[in-house]
Structure formats: structure tokens, C-alpha cells
Structure 1
């Protein structure tokens, strides 16, 4: 437990910075180590390794939205200056541009589903409200009819659960992830020699 006089460490203090930008540093022994080994495409078109992608995305998510970043890829000196190493920069940018497009497509599909479920939910709610009023007006002293009337009201509002959940809560994480992918897809990347 830290003493009262000790400063509390912040997330910023755990990362090095350069020119006011937080450095996302990745140390590799080879270029191919950065990519998914099961992807049959040429390495500069391959998907990033899931751990490398997760590390970059998690780092960006840990910081406020206005934080600026730079990615440093460290490779052994003999590899860092190679033509193969130079292709890492467009490969990372392309990977995250693709992720951004996939996430945007997912957002559009989820939004369409939300609109459709809202129309269905509102229609069902209107029918349930009308049915509830009809049942309630039949015999106001009948407990069974009152229960049916209340049940119809409850069922009508329950039908709104899915559209409300989709449109109010499920879309925002997708938008946030899309923005993160977009930021990473334009980040400055430097390939540097790994000094032992």
C-alpha cells in the first residue's frame, strides 16, 4: 500500500513519450512475428497477430480520446533497415483500415436491425395498448380481465426492450472501436533497430 506522501502512478507514467505522443513499443526478432502465421497472403497483406493487434488497441483504449500516439517497432539491426521491414508500416495501416471498414459494416447492420426492431416493437406496443384498453373496458370489476389488461401492457413494453437495448447501448461500443481503428490506421510508425 503506497504511503500518503508517494505520488499515485498514472497510466501515462507507464509508457515512454516522444514529442508529446505516447509510444506504443513492440519488440520483435523477425518481421513475420508481427503477423498471423495462418494467413496465406503475402506477409505485407497479412492480418496482424491477434496479440499484437490486441496490445495496440488496448493501449489506445486505456488513454483519453485526445491522446496522441506513435508506434515504435524494434527489430534486430540487420532486419530493421531491410525492404521487408519497410513494408510493416503500410501493412499495419492497411490492417486497421480493414478493421475500421468491417466495424463500420457491423455498425450499419446493427443499426438496421435496431430500426427494424423498433418498428416491430412500437407496432406490437400499439396493438397491446389497444387490446389492453378493450379488455379493460369489457368488465372493470373482473379481476381476470384486469390481469389480462395489465399483462398486455407489460408484454407491449417488454417488446420495446430489444430496440432500446440495441439503439441506446449496443451501438456505442461499436462506434468507439471504429474510431480507435481509424486513429491507429493513420498513426505514425517508426521502424527502429533493437539495441541489446
Structure 2
């Protein structure tokens, strides 16, 4: 019979805290393991490995926005004090600061598109409403009502895209940017692997 394990009550119980911060722990067998091996940039500017980035970002997303974090990088004994290991800290900060800037550009481009779509949608809706007034003047009442309703629906359908962009699509990008900014400022420690 297997021993009973205590159920996990919340996500916070899976992470340990240090100085009131939730610690994101990453254990590496070597320093290059943290970086994207296909990135030709100098070591301190290298892109973080996709899996490591996703782990850090997903951990931050699992907690309320006001939660404070720190990152602990564990390296094999003897490697945690070397010069290359100390470059990990600015490399992580630079990586996520760049991600925040790229996300900000994405946000601004989407907002510009939303404003353009709103201008087009409103213009089309005004034209549809004016045409609707003329449709009401038709002698055939059934045809006048049908055309009037169709123009009303088409006018409102033209507003669908700007409403979607400005009310719903921008907020996830804003949240993503805040997460990257938060990670870019996190305190990071490099420690030897616990024996």
C-alpha cells in the first residue's frame, strides 16, 4: 500500500519563500544550459532558453500581481563563483527588459490598428445610417424595412473589430509587458547546488 501524501492546498505551498519573496528556482548542470544555443550574440546578451523563459513567466503568472519574486540559479559546485556565472544576472535582466520593450512595441502597434479600425468602423457606420434613412423612403414597405435592418446590422458589424481590439485584445498585452518588466527587475542569486 502506498503512503498517503498530503494534498497540495495552493500553488504557494510548492515554492519556498525568502525575505517575503517567492523564489523561482532553476537548477543547471552547466551555464550554457540557460541560454539559447542558436543565438550568436555575446554571452551576456544571449537569449534565454525558451523553456527557462517559459518556466519563469508561467511561475509569475500563477501568482497574484502584487507577489514579490526572486530567482535562485543553482550551478554545480565550483561554477557558481566564476566570472561567466556572474554574467547570468545581467543576461536575464537584459533578456526580459528586451521582451518588455518588444511587447510595448506590439501594444503600440495594436493600439494604432485599433484606432484606425475605429475610424473606419465609425465612418462605415455613419454611411450605413445615412443610407438607412434613404432606404426608409422606398415605396415598398417590406423592402424598405429589410434594407433598413440590413444596413443597421452591417453598420454595427463594422464596429466589431475595433471593439474587439480596444476592449479585449490590448489588456493581455499590457499584462504580458508588466510581467516582463517585473522579471527584468527581480533579484537574482547564483548559488552552488545543494548537496
TM-score normalised to structure 1 length: 0.94
* Aligned match of 1:189: 188
1:168 aligns with 2:167: yes
For structure 1, the 5+ residue unaligned runs are 1-5
Partner of 1:180: 179
Give the superposition deviation at 1:7: 7.3
Q: Which residue of 2 aligns with 1:3?
A: none
Runs of 4+ aligned residues of structure 1 deviating over 2 Å after TM superposition are none
- Counterpart of 1:10? 10
CA distance in 2, matches of 1:80, 1:55: 21
- Distance of 1:125 and 1:143 partners within structure 2: 22
Separation in 1, partners of 2:130, 2:18: 65
SS in 1 for 2:188: strand
Find the aligned partners of 1:8 and 1:145 in 2 and give their Cα distance. Answer: 65
Map 1:32-181 onto structure 2 (within 5 A): 32-139=32-139, 141-181=140-180
RMSD after superposition: 1.2
Aligned residues: 190
Residue 185 to residue 157, structure 1, CA distance change in 2 (3 Å): same
CA–CA distance in 1 between the matches of 2:188 and 2:20? 15
> Structure 2: where are the runs of 5+ without partners?
1-5
How far apart are 1:136 and its partner, in Å?
1.1
